[in-house]
């Protein structure tokens, strides 16, 4: 596998319709909000989780595409449990005591093994408690928090369920209810949704770190596939409709880069679509416009003028 | 300080975690010298040189925000990796996020912007081909063109840092008009020391400027 020869920066633009893209555990699972600007947030780890899940689906444990940080148990583990039950006393290397690598050379071997086998270790890095300094892998791919283009307005939707979980819940319900003729086991719940939000995240890929972990060109293509398709396989009651709308990649000719990342990101401008005309978000006149509810309410412009030498814009989607 | 550089850095958020509050992370009020050194190293570093941070300028008011995330509690155990290598089988090598979940809040800085004034010294690993001018040129060229070894970050990797070189001779942007005693703050980690690697200093911000003591200064406490 040849390592990456170019630095890349990318901006990912995705939308949510009537769903909760990323709940805030601090705020009762309300969509994450920047309290100062009221713009919605999606954490970097939430996006990474979706990339991992997509790779797991797309490659389903193919050699060198395993996923280290997994959600839920995998079937193999269950098989192992069955074997253990059938043959007691056979598995001896199951619970070994805490082991540390003997020296730096061994730590490097362990690191290389993890990078070669696990896509997420190779891509995002991992912390391995080897007790020796080189037990930490920094991956080449770095993602930032995604932030919505405009302030969002989360809605709280109350829903009912025609059943109770247990007797206690039923009793509780009956006590609070005075009307004797309505004794059905109904419980109520809440859902938080964002009616519509267009979010933008930035990403960075270091060619130099890719060299160290063996993150290759085909891994990169797979990563872009994952960014484009990850929401297609992350359907859930809470998510509503989410989709990647644009993936704009800046490819640098030089491994170290040819231009500052922030200057490239500034070339992607997102504005409101007012009768087919681009209006910047901070334009006072859009205050009179109705709130955006679909992707066509926005216009994305890419400034391709006077591109720094050695930078190529690739629109993946 | 003949070979000094000045770099402006900024971003949306930053988390320079206080070591005493690292489980539910709380950021220091301003960037630490060690984080600043890491940013410089992300742009240019060779074993032949050592970056020394001289001054930190705080350009934006100090403000905080709280973010809570689901995180994993465990790390990859080396022993398990080793046994998987020996077996040639990956079956029991994974981390289950649902079973090893921790919810942690981070108190992070909002919209920080700083200027790092720093210089470098040659180390004893410098060969005959290394000289100050060469490394200074490499750094200045990279910083000017936006080149970096990897994108620098403001404390943790999800908070990317944008950077811009302030060329020699141009005036610095005005720091905030605020003075504050920042208390004891991490200066850097001494990776050579086995027992007590963390080094601290008494940080005082005067009109937005924090003077950082030099490596052998008595102001640095262990």
* B200: Cα separation from own chain's centroid: 14
**Which residues of B fall within a CB distance of 8 Å from A109?**
85
Asked whether residue B15 is domain-assigned, the answer is yes
Q: Is B102 on the interface with A (CB under 8 A)?
A: no
Asked whether residue B99 is domain-assigned, the answer is no
Contact state of B160 with A142 under an 8 Å Cβ cutoff: yes
A63: nearest CA partner in chain B: B90
Contact state of B67 with A43 under an 8 Å Cβ cutoff: yes
Which pLDDT tens digits describe chain A residue by residue (317 residues)?
A: 677 999 999 999 999 999 999 999 888 899 999 999 999 999 999 999 999 999 999 998 788 898 888 766 454 454 454 445 544 554 433 333 334 455 677 778 888 888 998 999 999 998 876 555 446 788 999 999 999 999 999 999 999 888 777 777 667 666 665 555 455 677 888 999 999 999 999 999 999 999 999 999 999 999 999 999 999 999 999 999 999 999 999 999 999 999 999 999 999 999 999 999 999 999 988 888 899 999 999 999 999 999 999 999 999 98
Find the CB nearest B95 among A68, A100, A140.
A68
The CA distance from A33 to the nearest CA of chain B, in Å, is 10
* pLDDT reported for residue B93: 79
Cβ-count burial B50-65 (b if 16+ within 10 Å, e if not): bbbbbbbbbbeebeeb
Asked whether residue B97 is domain-assigned, the answer is no
What is the tally of structural domains in chain B? 1
A211: nearest CA partner in chain B: B149
DSSP chain A: -PBP-S-EEEEEEEEEEEE-SSEEGGGTTEEPB-TTT-EEEE-HHHHHHHHHHHHHHHHTT-TT-B-SEESS--HHHHHHHHHHHHSTTT--SSSPPP---SSHHHHHHHHHHHHHHBHHHHHHEEEEE-SSGGGEEE-SEEE--EEEEEE---EEEEEEESS-SSHHHHHHHHHH---TT-----EEEEEEEEEEEEEEEEEEE-HHHHHHHT-BHHHHHHHHHHHHHGGGG---TTT-EEEEEEEEEEEESSTT-SS-HHHHHTTEEEEEEETTEEEETT-GGGGGSPPP-SGGGEEEEE--TTPPTTEEEEE--
* pLDDT reported for residue A136: 76
Q: Which helix (H) or strand (E) holds B62?
A: none
- Top residue of B89, B150, B161 to mutate, by most chain A CBs within 10 Å, is B150
**Which residues of B fall within a CB distance of 8 Å from A113?**
81, 84-85
Asked whether residue B8 is domain-assigned, the answer is yes
Q: Residue B33 sits in a domain of what CATH number?
A: 3.30.70.2660
Q: Is A162 on the interface with B (CB under 8 A)?
A: no
Q: Is A266 on the interface with B (CB under 8 A)?
A: no
Residues A186 and A160 sit within 8 Å (Cβ to Cβ): yes
Asked whether residue B115 is domain-assigned, the answer is yes
Asked whether residue B191 is domain-assigned, the answer is yes
Residue B170: which domain range? 3-72+107-211
Asked whether residue B86 is domain-assigned, the answer is no
Q: What is the DSSP letter of B173?
A: P
Asked whether residue B128 is domain-assigned, the answer is yes
Q: Is B97 on the interface with A (CB under 8 A)?
A: yes
Q: Measure the CA angle with vertex A248, ends A247 and A253; round to 5°.
A: 135
Q: Is A64 on the interface with B (CB under 8 A)?
A: no
Which pair of tokens denotes residue A282? Answer: 């901070």
Residues B113 and B31 sit within 8 Å (Cβ to Cβ): no
């Amino acid at each position: 596998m040849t390592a990456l020869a170019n630095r890349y920066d990318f901006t990912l633009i995705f939308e949510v319709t009537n769903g909760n893209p990323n709940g805030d555990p601090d705020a009762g699972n309300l969509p994450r909000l920047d309290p100062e600007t009221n713009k919605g947030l999606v954490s970097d780890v939430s996006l990474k989780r979706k990339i991992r899940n997509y790779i797991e689906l797309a490659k389903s444990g193919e050699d060198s595409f395993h996923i280290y940080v997994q959600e839920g148990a995998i079937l193999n583990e269950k098989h192992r449990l069955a074997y253990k039950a059938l043959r007691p006393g056979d598995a001896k290397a199951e619970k070994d005591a805490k082991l540390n690598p003997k020296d730096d050379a061994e730590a490097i071997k362990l690191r290389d093994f993890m990078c070669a086998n696990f896509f997420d270790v190779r891509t995002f890095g991992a912390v391995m408690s080897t007790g020796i300094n080189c037990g930490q892998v920094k991956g080449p791919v770095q993602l930032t928090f995604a932030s919505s283009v405009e302030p969002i307005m989360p809605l709280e939707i109350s829903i009912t369920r025609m059943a109770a979980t247990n007797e206690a819940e039923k009793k509780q319900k009956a006590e609070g209810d005075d009307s004797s003729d309505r004794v059905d086991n109904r419980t109520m719940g809440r859902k938080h949704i964002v009616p519509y939000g267009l979010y933008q995240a930035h990403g960075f890929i270091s060619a130099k770190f890719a060299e160290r972990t063996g993150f290759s060109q085909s891994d990169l293509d797979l990563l872009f596939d994952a960014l484009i398709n990850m929401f297609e396989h992350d359907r859930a009651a809470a998510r509503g409709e989410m989709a990647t709308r644009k993936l704009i990649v800046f490819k640098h000719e030089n491994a170290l880069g040819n231009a500052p990342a922030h200057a490239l990101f500034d070339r992607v401008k997102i504005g409101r679509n007012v009768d087919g005309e681009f209006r910047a978000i901070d334009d006072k006149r859009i205050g009179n416009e109705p709130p955006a509810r679909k992707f066509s309410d926005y216009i994305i412009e890419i400034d391709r003028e006077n591109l720094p030498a050695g930078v190529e814009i690739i629109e993946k989607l | 300080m003949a070979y000094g550089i000045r770099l402006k850095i900024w971003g949306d958020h930053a988390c320079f975690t206080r070591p005493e509050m690292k489980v539910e992370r709380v950021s220091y009020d301003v960037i630490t010298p060690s984080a600043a050194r890491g940013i410089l190293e992300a742009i240019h570093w060779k074993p032949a040189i050592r970056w020394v941070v001289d001054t930190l300028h705080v350009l934006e008011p100090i403000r905080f925000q709280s973010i809570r995330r689901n995180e994993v509690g465990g790390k990859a155990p080396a022993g398990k990796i080793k046994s998987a290598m020996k077996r040639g089988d990956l079956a029991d090598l994974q981390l289950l996020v649902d079973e090893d979940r921790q919810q942690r809040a981070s108190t992070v800085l909002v919209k920080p912007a700083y200027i790092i004034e720093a210089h470098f010294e040659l180390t004893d690993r410098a060969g005959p081909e290394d000289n100050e001018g060469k490394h200074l040129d490499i750094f200045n060229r990279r910083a000017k063109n936006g080149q970096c070894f990897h994108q620098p970050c403001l404390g943790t990797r999800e908070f990317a840092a944008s950077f811009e070189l302030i060329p020699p001779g141009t005036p610095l942007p005005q720091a905030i008009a605020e003075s504050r005693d920042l208390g004891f703050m991490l200066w850097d980690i001494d990776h050579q020391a086995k027992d007590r690697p963390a080094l601290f200093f008494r940080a005082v911000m005067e009109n937005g400027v924090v003077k950082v003591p030099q490596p052998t200064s008595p102001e640095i406490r262990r």
